[in-house]
Amino acid sequence: FVSAGMRLLPDALRQDRRLELGRVLLILARRSTAVALLLIAVGGGVYSYLGNGDPGLFAAAGLLLVVTVQRELDVQLLIAERRQREASLWQTGDSILRPVLAIGLVCWGGAKAALVLSGYALASLSVNTIRMRLNRGNLPKREDARPAVVRALKREVWVYAWPLLPMELLSWFNSLG
């Protein structure tokens, strides 16, 4: 969906449909993330039950997924809008704060993978929150999105994104190993 957003954003800006495109991408990203969270919860639950794993590890992975999806979507849209300075500042802040909080949590609670993931998630959540508070006055209201335009854009995003989904899944799967 991010690739579709980057591709469709210039047209959306020219046609005064930026708000609606952002709404569509947010809805689709949330749905996809919800499916991924469900899979993490089921897989983590089964693994923890059968292998005495740490459920906290899977909870931290889920939290990290949620904040990372939000950050990546917003950063890529900033880049597509040619607002690289703002995107770079956001990514740099996140890149600096992630290891700092992860190391801090490990020093505090011991060498546990769940603490490292939690540190990453808390860092991203902190940077995302700061950015949202700074941009609060610049954001249009959700109610201003035109429903007919949202429906049309949702179809456009799916048409663009559908052929890319197998490639993204294979890329993700290959990165696991």
pLDDT tens per residue across span 54-91: 888 899 999 999 999 989 888 988 898 888 998 999 89
* Alpha helices per DSSP H over the chain: 2-14, 18-51, 55-80, 84-109, 113-134, 147-161, 165-175
8 Å CB contact between 36 and 110: no
- The CA-atom distances, in angstroms, between 158 and each of 5, 8, 45, 143 are 10, 11, 32, 23
pLDDT category of residue 176 using cuts at 50, 70 and 90: low
Mean pLDDT of 12-19: 84
Q: Is pLDDT larger for residue 95 or for residue 177?
A: 95
Question: What pLDDT shows up at residue 142?
Answer: 56
Average pLDDT, the chain: 86
Question: What pLDDT shows up at residue 164?
Answer: 81
Question: What pLDDT shows up at residue 125?
Answer: 94
Question: What pLDDT shows up at residue 88?
Answer: 93
Q: Is pLDDT larger for residue 106 or for residue 4?
A: 106
Over 70: is that where the pLDDT of 172 sits?
Answer: no
Q: Which range is least confidently modeled, 33-42, 125-134, 135-144, 157-166?
A: 135-144
Q: In 3D, which of 107, 95, 103 has the Cα closest to residue 119?
A: 103
Percent of the chain with pLDDT over 90: 35
8 Å CB contact between 8 and 156: yes
Question: What pLDDT shows up at residue 170?
Answer: 79
d(CA 100, CA 107): 11
Burial class of residue 50 in the structure, from the number of CB atoms within 10 Å of its CB (0-12 exposed, 13-18 middle, 19+ buried):
exposed
